[in-house]
Homo-oligomer: A and B are copies of this chain.
Amino acid sequence: MLTNRRTIRIEWGDCDPAGIVYFPRYFEFFDACTVALFERAGLFKRDMLKRYGIAGIPLVDIKAQFLMPSRFGDDVVVESSVTKWGNSSFVVRHRLMKGDAMAIECFETRVWTAYPDGDPEKFEARAIPEEVKKRFGADAESKRGE
């Protein structure tokens, strides 16, 4: 299973008056980490949207557990991988690590989506191409590590 690891420096502007990360920021990190995971699989988002004629991979469901806070100046590592492939949806798991300890675990369910008429209210789920799924699969095993 292809896993991407990304180091993130927690910035001053990521934190709130209690001195810890303002939690919506974590979801910005995770969204960028999903993009980075696809890029690691050889799918640069800008090209991917064009090639497959989709508008994006929006979320339909998200769950997260926050076990430890982080504060500005911390360097954390997010480990991301696809844990489940459906026909048109998939699940990405992110683990935000502080050293060896898991600070946050998040599961994003996303959908391969087109807006046939350019109208986001008329979005349409599309089947994920097999060649996309394969890029995250067994032959990716050898590419582990950063």
Interface set of A (CB-CB < 8 Å, partner B): 9, 11-13, 15-20, 22-25, 27-28, 31-32, 35, 44-46, 55-56, 58-69, 71-73, 115, 120-121, 123
Contact = CB atoms under 8 A, between A and B. Distances in A.
A55 B71 CA distance: 14
Contacts of A20: 56, 58, 120
A63 B62 contact: yes
A30 B12 CA distance: 12
B44 A73 contact: yes
A12 B25 contact: no
A67 to B, nearest CB: 8
Contacts of A12: 16-17, 22, 31-32, 35, 45, 56
A23 B110 CA distance: 12
30 contacts: A11-B32, A12-B22, A12-B32, A12-B45, A13-B16, A13-B22, A13-B32, A15-B16, A16-B16, A16-B56, A17-B56, A17-B72, A18-B55, A18-B56, A22-B31, A23-B59, A24-B25, A24-B27, A44-B73, A45-B72, A46-B73, A58-B69, A60-B65, A60-B67, A61-B63, A61-B64, A63-B63, A68-B121, A69-B123, A71-B120
